[in-house]
A and B are shown apart, each in its own frame.
Chain A
Amino acid sequence: MTHNSLPRPDTGSGQNRGPDALPDHGVVKPDHGVAETVIEARHLGVTFAADRQQTVALTGVDLAIREGEFVSLIGPSGCGKTTLLRLIADLEQATTGTLLVNGVAPEQARKQRAYGYVFQAPALYPWRNVERNVMLPLEVMGLPRAERQARAARVLDLVGLAAFRRRFPWQLSGGMQQRASIARALSFEPNLLLMDEPFGALDEITRDGLTLHLHQLWRRTGLTAMFVTHSVPEAVFLSTRIVVMSSHPGRIVAVIESTLPRERDLDVRETPEYLAVAHAVRAALREGHRDG
């Protein structure tokens, strides 16, 4: 179903693209002008039980994410940001509360191939070259060979790896590997991109480049994105909204709307608006830390 949609047009600048410009992913959309809610969490909580010890990984999470948003989850280690992402991906099960992804339960959304997931490590398959790595989800979904190749070519072009499609993962730099893994997550055209600290293991210069690249990618595709990070500059640069979390127990302490324009370049980091948002995020992080 989701893979029957036409290739996403990527010719335009991507500006001013409302939800109508998005390709149909087989998800029934309400027929009104307001952007659809992609993720809706109510009183969401997870408690891990191990050796008669209970760890509250996440508690009382209320969050609604609309189509086309770029939402960062930021907070210290153990604040449950990865857990929240894994809940949405149906890689982890909530113990309390409700969670809807594209209006359905996470499991159903996963089966509808609603989201692409990018892990902390590139998680490429070492015995497959870049192109075949990107085609992996398409093989699993049973697309015909010609279609797989066409889609792989398109997303590799999107992340700037077209020239490296025959290379094997170990022949690529860390940044290129992570770009390949982003291409893989986009290959089946999900409407939601979940990223768990994808640039965490990379050096600062590579990170800067990839951050900008990711921003342009998001602008061009009109995807809804969730991005887990430790880095305030990364979160502020990329996001339309920043969810600040705290640990013990993992929870949301603040949700900060970005006042930055949707279209950005690296220079935006010098503007007062950027510094104001960054300041608000840091203040919320400190606040959360004190409470914890």
Chain B
Amino acid sequence: MGKVAPVLVVLVILTTLWYGAALAMNWDQAQTLADDDAGWTDVATAALTLERPLLPTPDQVVGEMIRGVFGYNVVSSRSLLFHAGVTAWAASLGFMVALIAGMTLAIGIVHIRTLDRALMPWLIVSQAVPVLAIAPMVVVVLGNIGLTGVTPKALIAGWLSFFPITTGMVKGLRSSDPMRRDLLRTYSATGTQVFMKLRWPDSMAFLFPAMKVAAPLALVGAIVAELPTGAQAGLGARLLTGSYYGHTPQIWAALFMAAILAMLAVAAVDGAQALLVRARGGRL
């Protein structure tokens, strides 16, 4: 209970503030729609139940989510779960891309001195490119060279999330204690053995925090890649159609679904970490 109470308090405060904000932001619209003789309570009620409010109320968003999740068949394009699944799949593939690319780059940087100098500036430049802003363009360009469907989404998700993996792994692969490294030298261990028996296990303590940063980023990448016109499915498409038709509860429902996915992703990383910690006798 000691942990739940503070969370509940914050939740109550946020919800109250939210209702207040909804009231204030939707007031004008409610007044315009209301009859001339409507009292302020009528206007307030209307402000909290508008079909296309400027800011939907929490109960409207939750209602929209429940409808989206339980109201339709999962394979229906009206189901929120269906769209969440599409996005989660693209984000997962993107995360895999980020893991493979990030680790490969890190291994290269750590082992090849020239790569360290030659590659790092470009990696930093790659992160300075506002992928979020040009993602739609990237999707169109990739579509022109025949990459359609989930591939461009996974690539953008991977692009957005590989950098923490790379930097984390570079740091991790270099974190080995000099004495433990000397020890392997006294055994005349090969470079591969040093990697497998020392560097790689040492890097795990850095890989998992990096993955916790990267997983939500991959999700953001997948959503952004779904924004361009033509995307028929995914949370990004829901955001887009929601804003196109001014159906704000749909936008908020999609946003909350994205937040839930991000939490699940981080929880999955935590779960994998817990398995590793158990195999290592209780410490990472």
Residues of A within 8 A of B282 (CB): 168, 170
B197 touches A136 (CB 8 A): yes
- Report the tally of A-B residue pairs with Cβ distances under 8 A: 59
B201 touches A125 (CB 8 A): yes
Q: Which of A12-20, A62-70, A108-116, A267-275 has 4 or more CB atoms under 8 Å from chain B?
A: A108-116
Interface residue? A139 (CB, 8 A): yes
Docked CA distance A188–B186 (Å)? 12
Residues of A within 8 A of B187 (CB): 113, 136-137, 140-141, 188
Contact among A91, A125, A141, A171 for B182, CB-based, below 8 A: A91
Which B residue's beta carbon lies closest to that of A129? B281
Interface residue? B272 (CB, 8 A): no
Residues of B within 8 A of A168 (CB): 280-283
Chain A at the B interface: SS class? loop
Docked CA distance A116–B198 (Å)? 18
Per-residue contact bits, chain A 76-116, to B (CB 8 Å; 1 contact, 0 not) = 00000000000001110000000000000000001101011
Residues of B within 8 A of A139 (CB): 197
**Which positions 147-175 of chain A face chain B at CB distance < 8 Å?**
167-168, 170-171
Q: In which size bucket is the chain B interface?
A: 20 to 34
Which B residue's beta carbon lies closest to that of A185? B186
B280 touches A127 (CB 8 A): yes
Interface residue? B52 (CB, 8 A): no
A111 touches B188 (CB 8 A): yes
Q: Which residues of B contact A (CB under 8 A)?
A: 177, 179-180, 182-189, 193, 197-198, 201, 204, 280-283
Q: 28 A-B contacts, Cβ less than 8 Å apart?
A: A90-B185, A91-B182, A110-B185, A110-B188, A113-B188, A115-B186, A117-B182, A119-B182, A120-B179, A121-B179, A123-B179, A123-B180, A123-B182, A123-B183, A125-B180, A125-B198, A125-B201, A126-B283, A127-B204, A136-B187, A136-B197, A140-B188, A140-B197, A167-B281, A168-B280, A168-B281, A170-B282, A170-B283
